Amino acid sequence: MIQLKKRNELKKRIQELQESKVREKVNKRIKEFKELQKKGNNAWFDELCFCILTANSSADMGIKIQEYMKPRNGFQEFTEGEIKKVLKDKGYRFYNRRAEYIKLAQEHKDDLKDILTSLEDSFGKREWVVNNIKGIGYKEGSHFLRNVGYLDLGILDRHILRCMENNGFIEIPKTLTSKRYLDIEDKFKEFSEEVNLMPGELDLYLWYLETGEVKK
């Protein structure tokens, strides 16, 4: 009974957001994602690198580095040492490991979109990303695919997990294995259907409830 009450309260809060100016912010983000979907391999690769950087870090830090690198083609052309220096200078904590990941990912800077659009569905695309891009798990893979216009995956970061736990959907597991991720994602998707939103849209509303912001 308590869980049902919390669930209904959350639905009401989401509905209130949809009737507020937050909806404009969410719709603007979704439009940006759809526009990025139309762009080419290199634009998709830049977004992949952004998502590599957000793992165990923050969206703000990833955005700051992405904005610095983009006009310089840094993600695509810099050496591992050059990437490492940028990350360190910008105050990024895991500069050694993430520079390595981005350098390894450069193998697909010219064919990333081509490969992914050849695969049938978002889940197959995510599996490819997780299996072929070092430093990317289900969460980061979902984040990347949402940001290039695929809205049917759950981005289960700490904000979303906390929101789900606080509203009686789950207990946050000590270790988020692949199986547990998929189980929680199923619950997330079920709720997204209840509120008539795609998972990638629901994520933005819940993120706003937890942080007061709508970020990519």
**Residue of 46, 84, 103, 157 marked catalytic:** 157
Q: Please indicate, yes or no, if residue 107 is contained in any of the structural domains.
A: yes
Q: Please indicate, yes or no, if residue 98 is contained in any of the structural domains.
A: yes
Residue-averaged pLDDT of the chain: 95
- Let me know if 139 is a catalytic residue: yes
Q: Please indicate, yes or no, if residue 216 is contained in any of the structural domains.
A: no
**135 and 54 inside one domain:** yes
Q: Please indicate, yes or no, if residue 108 is contained in any of the structural domains.
A: yes
pTM for the complete prediction?
Answer: 0.95
Mean pLDDT in residue range 181-209: 96
Residue 205 domain boundaries: 2-33+154-211
- Let me know if 189 is a catalytic residue: no
Q: Please indicate, yes or no, if residue 66 is contained in any of the structural domains.
A: yes
**58 and 141 inside one domain:** yes
pLDDT tens digit sequence for 88-139: 999 999 999 999 999 999 999 999 999 999 998 999 999 999 999 999 999 9
DSSP result, the chain = -HHHHHHHHHHHHHHHHHTSTHHHHHHHHHHHHHHHHTS-HHHHHHHHHHHHHHTTS-HHHHHHHHHHHGGGTHHHH--HHHHHHHHHHTT-TTHHHHHHHHHHHGGGTTTHHHHHHTSSSHHHHHHHHHHHSTT--HHHHHHHHHHTT--SS----HHHHHHHHHTTS----SS--HHHHHHHHHHHHHHHHHTT--HHHHHHHHHHHHHS----
**136 and 82 inside one domain:** yes
Please tell me the total count of domains within the chain.
2
**48 and 110 inside one domain:** yes
Higher pLDDT, 143 or 2: 143
